[in-house]
Structures are given as structure tokens and as C-alpha cells.
Amino acid sequence: MKLKYIFQLLSLVLLVNLFACQKQTDDSEQYICPMKCVDHKTYDHPGTCPVCKMDLVKVSSLEAPVLATDNASDNSIFNLTSSWNTQNNEKIQLTDLKGKVLVVVMIYTSCEAACPRLVADMRNIKNKVDDPNIDYVLVSIDPEKDTPEKLKAYAKEEHLEGDQWILLQGTLDDVREFSNVLSMKYKKISPIDFSHTNIISVFDKHGVLQYQQEGLGVSNDKLVEEVKSLSE
């Protein structure tokens, strides 16, 4: 009987403690990098972000936007952890492209039929959009042949030069994974040829797929419009 009483008392104390704890964390203000460079890491004191050097802000001041991007980031390609080689032989991850609208296409450099038209379309889109804050990304579906050197030469040949053009080589596995994120299909049909779907995809600044243009020789007006509105 006595034991039971003590137990009840104990649980009451515990319960009070529990609420007390919760209250405490509510009271203490946490700080976070406004760009969320280190994901959602929070700090106890104000200061600067170790990555982008911006001033940390109060978490509460970001509450709504944090939630909004949280939901969105579930659909973001920045969840992919694969690493890629650029045409300049730099190693990057997709998250390194965060903060810019991305126009993405998958091609292979020895392709003679559809790819040159897709690439021409990319150039055309870039000219129409005419905005230096947008990246144009070409991912090779033939990473065994398309080395950074080959991609570099291809970029030159196809007039894809400048910071806005990013050509990527990944592993076979990571390229397959990336194609599945785009719902893009491809198949190696001979040592030098692939069949593939022709899709140009647009991602917003958070890496969420917003628009896809399917097919060859279709008008890119809608895509251009979409890119412009996303970059505002």
C-alpha cells in the first residue's frame, strides 16, 4: 500500500519534470544558419555559419520557412548522396548546386540522333531565359566512355562553355539512380548506342522537380516560362 503511494508520488514528480524539461527547451532560443548550410544544425549562441559565413538567425524567426522547405526537401534531389565529376574534373555532389534553378538533361556524347537536338534545345532555352543565375546540367548516361576530358571536349564542340554549363560523369549505379529520379528511361543497345527517353527537367532552388518537357522538336516556350518564374 505504502509502496503504491510512493510510486504514484514518484510518477507525479517525473511528470512534472517532463513538462519542466519541455518548457526549458522552449524558452532557450536556438540559432540556425539562414541558408541551412549544415542541414538543420542549430546553435546555442549567435555567431556566423561555418560554411557560408552568414550571420546565424533565431530559429523562431525562420519557423514558417523552415517548415515549408522541410516538406519540400522530402522531394528534393539534394537527398541523393552520389558524387559526380564535372567536365573540369572537379568532384561535386548535387547539393553543391543548391540555390539555383537547374535545367537538366541526360545525354551521351557519342549520340548522333537525338542528343544533338536535345543539346541544341538546351542552348536555345539558355538564350531565351537569359539569366546568369541558372545552371544547365548535362548528365552522361554513358559514364564509362564519357570521362571528364571527353565531356570537356564535347562542351567545347557544342559551345557549352562558361560557368552555367555543368557536364557530369557518375558511376553506372548513380546514373541509373538519377535517371529514376527523373523517371527517364535508357538502355544500352550496343557498345556505342543507347536508346533513351528525351526529357528536359527543371528543378527549383530547393532541388524539387517542377517541370518536364518530353519529346524532341516540341516547343520550349512553356519550359522557358517556368524557368523564368522559378528564378524570380
Separation CA 100–CA 35 (nearest Å): 13
Stretch that binds another protein, among 3-11, 89-97, 126-134, 209-217 (CB under 8 A): 209-217
197 scored as a contact of another protein (CB under 8 A): yes
Buried b / exposed e over 189-215, threshold 16 CB at 10 Å, is eeeeebebebbbbbbbbbbbbebebee
Q: How far is the CB of 76 from another protein (least distance, A)?
A: 7
- Give me the sheet containing 209-214, strands edge to edge: 91-93, 83-86, 165-169, 134-140, 101-107, 199-203, 209-214
How many residues form the binding site for another protein (CB under 8 A)?
26
Separation CA 96–CA 165 (nearest Å): 14
Closer by beta carbon to another protein, 53 or else 176: 176
67 scored as a contact of another protein (CB under 8 A): no
109 scored as a contact of another protein (CB under 8 A): no
Stretch that binds another protein, among 33-41, 70-78, 123-131, 156-164 (CB under 8 A): 70-78
Separation CA 105–CA 119 (nearest Å): 8
Does the annotation list 115 as a binding residue?
Answer: yes
Q: Strands 199-203 and 209-214, how do they pair?
A: antiparallel
116 scored as a contact of another protein (CB under 8 A): no
81 scored as a contact of another protein (CB under 8 A): no
Residues annotated within the binding site are 111, 115, 196
Residues annotated within the binding site for Cu cation are 111, 115, 196
Which residues of this protein are in contact with another protein, per CB under 8 A? 74-77, 79, 113-114, 176-177, 179-181, 183-189, 195-198, 214-216
